[in-house]
Amino acid sequence: MGVSGARPRWGRGVSPLKSRAGTPALQGLEEGIPPTPNGINGGIGGRAPVQKGWRRDSSNAEWQQMEGSNVPKEFINPPGLNEPPGYTHVVTATGGKLVFVAGQTAWNAQGELVGRGDLRAQTVQAFENLKTALAAAGATFADVVKYTTFVVNYSPDVRPMLGEVRSMYLPKEHPAPHTLLGVQSLARDGMLIEIEATAIVE
């Protein structure tokens, strides 16, 4: 538990933390510190080392295990802002290396435009290309902290389809912040969508 005589520092209004196995950790230990692998916040002064792959949901002040993620993240939907569908207003990340991915479109590895005139097909291909680009940097969709999507001649009626395709790739809980923009055109003829991303990895 730490050095003899050391006293834990207590956070404000912190719920009991739980390990991945559901073991309760010590209640009230330093706010924002995830549990150690055995579910106990140890270390000098009650400070536990930050564990890889944990995230903290500010709505209940608990860290949660992120599948496939290496860097702790905190997902925040602040009071005073509406609860967003399909994305999170704010995310913070501790440590790690930033990965910036250029906008991905529907061009495949052979230089062919997939789904000409078909926004859904192009959206799927753009996410497949984004997956490949992230993997080249050792990242997955769980490591992304910001997306921006550009859609040619956007209209609100295509939003459900975009959300449905996005849900095939993004984590279902606490998805990263996302900005959706309608544009007049993209860089090359026939392109209907472009998706760029920023990720953080160990």
pLDDT tens string 59-99: 433 334 345 566 788 888 889 998 888 888 988 888 889 99
Query: Domain locations in the chain?
Result: 97-201
pTM, two decimals, is: 0.65
Q: Class of 97-201 per CATH?
A: alpha beta
Residue 200: which of 84, 62, 51, 53 has the closest Cα? 53
pLDDT (tens digit per residue) in 147-193: 999 999 999 999 999 999 999 999 888 889 999 999 999 999 999 99
Which helix (H) or strand (E) is 160 found in, with range?
helix 159-167
